[in-house]
A and B are shown apart, each in its own frame.
Chain A
Amino acid sequence: MKKPQNRISVLKTYKLYIGGQFPRTESGRSIAALDAKGNKIANLCMASRKDGREAIVAARAALGGWNQRAANNRGQILYRIAEMLEARKDQFIAELQLQGLSRVAALAETNGAIDRWIYYAGWCDKYQALFSTVNPVASSHYNFSVCEPMGVVTIFAPTSPLLGLTSVLAPCLAGGNTAVVIADEKRSLCAISLAEVLNSSDVPGGVVNILTGSKAELLPWLAEHRDVNALVYTERDPATLSSLRTRATGNLKRVIHWPYTNWSLNKAQSPHLIMDLQEIKTTWHPIQQITGSGASY
């Protein structure tokens, strides 16, 4: 037995993040978060199918408010996330080291994530101008195509526990979607800590929902849920990808595959990732023709 210390440190309880709240899983189950040597660090919630449903309901409810926000405001909120992350940098570095990353790698992961939030904060009010079009139709109509968010997106987060997570979440949010994230199974401490950052960055409750637990258990339910519009998958397992595509057919969810192996590269950030989670809507409007006037002004 170790000698008792003068002050007992306060351990953190890692919970889920649903609808802006930090509930425990309704199932009451937990899984152990382990460090690199296999020692237990904490008890994580093992989210259930019902937690997944609650998260989707919250994401759906938050969608209207989030995508109707001014693009500029979404940009400010994403920037605020970076600010909050910068302020808590040490916490994330320590947490990453605890989960087995070297000091250098943990620093790179954290800095990379902060910079990535800033990268996408800047895109919030710009991608529309690049990817929308005014179409020169032959008839007398004003015709334009704009980008709109797909809606509720379920994200199976990459193994890169902070930078990878940020790299898939940020383009989703920048484009006005709301998200249900299934954190990486092995290293999910940062995902819940990121939820705390989101919660203090004016990200409205429900815009991001984060679940920890067994990916294999949650995947079928979330992939089949009829109120989800798109799925993002980032690993390279053909069987999982095939299963997602098959299960997505019920309501024709869009299945987006981002198989990046190194999220720290510059090419892992792009407005094209925002566009992968956008629909194109085209509107036609008649233009009055004053015939017979002969004027050519």
Chain B
Amino acid sequence: MATKKTKSSIRPLRPGSGWTYAPAPESAAIARIDEQYELFIDGKWQKPSGGSYFDSINPANEKKLYRAALANEKDVEKAVTAARKAFDKYWKKMPPAERGKYIFRVARLMQEQARELSIMETLDGGKPIRESRDFDVPMACNHFFYYAGWADKLEYAFPNRTPKPIGVAAQITPWNFPLLMAAWKIAPALATGNTIVLKPAETTSLTTLKLASIIQEADLPPGVVNIITGAGNTGAALVRHPGINKIAFTGSTAVGKLIQQETASSNKKLTLELGGKAANIIFSDAPIDQAVEGVVNGIFFNQGHVCCAGSRVYVQESIAPIFLQKLKDRMATLLVGDPMDKNTDIGAINSAEQLEKINYYIRLGKKEGSLHYENTATLPKKGFYCRPTLFTKVAQSSRLAQEEIFGPVLAILTFRTEDEVIEKANNTPYGLSAGVWTDKGSRIFNMSKRLKAGVVWANSYNLFDPTSPFGGYKESGYGREGGLHGLSPYVTF
């Protein structure tokens, strides 16, 4: 009887209802953060030619963390020239096995400094230390380790073809997984013999700059990897530079389209990893408690700043009431607050700007008449925070169900039949990922085949691995990162 209210005799585990957590902060002391960072060009730290710097704050408390150099067109020119020189002089001539050994060395040095990288990532970006420590950093290390091994085996990856490096790769990374995205970009590009100019997002340069010092420590030939910091203008100058042969961009669909237009008349090879609005589909026979965990992980992992976030849940009508109740109960237990606390589930929103965007969508959802529910956590006074939020009574055409919010905001929709949910799930310009929860194996494979998405998680969500290709269909971009297929964007024949 779906209409009957189920009343649990077990007291929900909820902060403030008797059970409390003592603070368990990670120490920030081991992160050696400089007051000021320069540009990493040609193996040296170089001052920006315009002499300007920009501040980066800790979004958890709004305190200034460091300042980074603002690269202008002259700096881009220097970096591209250094990368070209390194390509011609060292990197393309080096025996591939030796190239691989450099990359292995980077992986090892990162592992040795893993905790410092995790702390830096959390301080700079606001994500919970539990995630940076257990996910971002180890995954980034493994990515280098994985692609290092490919360097001298590339001819096996392309049957009957001889892969060659493309040349100088321009890489632009987003702020949601700064170090991991740098690893996704740098590791395959180096393994295939390209040299690099990489620009991290302006709110989160820290771990990429730390990675530059690790690359320096690994003694890579100068200019093979160049890191320049700055905002959109720096990125635009990099994309436009005629000395670039390849562009790899991760970010918003709008900017991705601009880059495709900008480079239309050039022969720069382009790969784009863009936005998403993934459907997470719960059938009535799903293991419901696992599905609730999966939905929570799907949308609240990294504050929802995930391009493949499961931001639309489609739950089969017959189990919608019980599913919703269990989901709300689970959401109520989520700890929102200090990202450096080891118990924190939801950390700080990356920037004031992003918080405003999320709040805009929450106001919009309320205005459109969708039902709003949020966790009741007390938010810290300083810093950018957002409670885990869900909306029910969301129309398929609602902007909450169509647009990428990039925050901890979940839209819940319902369905009756398999055909209906496939139609609804695919009814978006995006096609990055999807989730399917059901006990029936044949249904999983049918759904997996018919969902237009680059990654499908069955009875699971938000899983990543260096060996597993990731990337989208449709307006979520093109090209794959990870695995054997992740080599193709960086080779020519």
Chain A interface residues (CB < 8 Å from chain B) = 130, 133, 135-139, 141, 143, 145, 148, 229, 238-239, 241-243, 245-246, 248-252, 254, 270-272, 279-286
Contact = CB atoms under 8 A, between A and B. Distances in A.
A280 B480 contact: yes
Contacts of A148: 449
A284 B468 contact: yes
Contact of A248 (B253, B260, B274, B456): B260
A283 B458 contact: yes
Contacts of B475: 251-252
A145 B483 contact: yes
Contacts of A229: 474
B454 A280 contact: yes
Contacts of B160: 270
Nearest to B266: A242
A238 B267 CA distance: 9
Contacts of B485: 133, 145, 280
A245 B456 contact: no
A285 B468 contact: no
Interface of B: 142, 158-161, 253, 256-257, 260-261, 263-265, 272, 274, 429, 444, 448-449, 453-460, 463, 465, 467-471, 473-475, 477-478, 480, 483-485
Given A245-B261, A252-B257, A282-B454, 11 more contacts: A133-B469, A137-B467, A239-B265, A248-B260, A252-B477, A280-B454, A280-B480, A281-B455, A283-B457, A284-B457, A286-B460
B470 A282 contact: yes
A122 to B, nearest CB: 15
A227 to B, nearest CB: 11
A241 B142 CA distance: 39
B489 to A, nearest CB: 12
Given A137-B465, A245-B260, A252-B257, A284 B265 contact: no
A206 B10 CA distance: 60
Contacts of B454: 279-282
A246 B261 contact: yes
A131 to B, nearest CB: 8
A83 B480 CA distance: 38
B465 A135 contact: yes
B469 A284 contact: no
B468 A143 contact: yes
B469 A141 contact: no
Given A136-B467, A245-B260, A282-B455, A238 B429 contact: no
Contacts of B453: 281
Contacts of A137: 463, 465, 467-468
A135 B468 CA distance: 6
B428 to A, nearest CB: 12
Given A133-B484, A145-B485, A282 B159 contact: no
Nearest to A275: B488
Given A138-B142, A245-B260, A248-B260, A281 B456 contact: yes
B440 to A, nearest CB: 12
A143 B453 CA distance: 15
A285 B448 CA distance: 11
Interface-central residue, A133, A241, A270, A279, by most chain B CB under 10 Å:
A279
Given A133-B485, A279-B454, A284 B463 contact: yes
A133 B483 contact: yes
Contacts of A252: 253, 256-257, 260, 272, 274, 474-475, 477-478
Q: Nearest 8 CB-CB pairs, A to B?
A: A245-B264, A242-B265, A137-B465, A135-B467, A246-B264, A249-B257, A285-B458, A242-B264
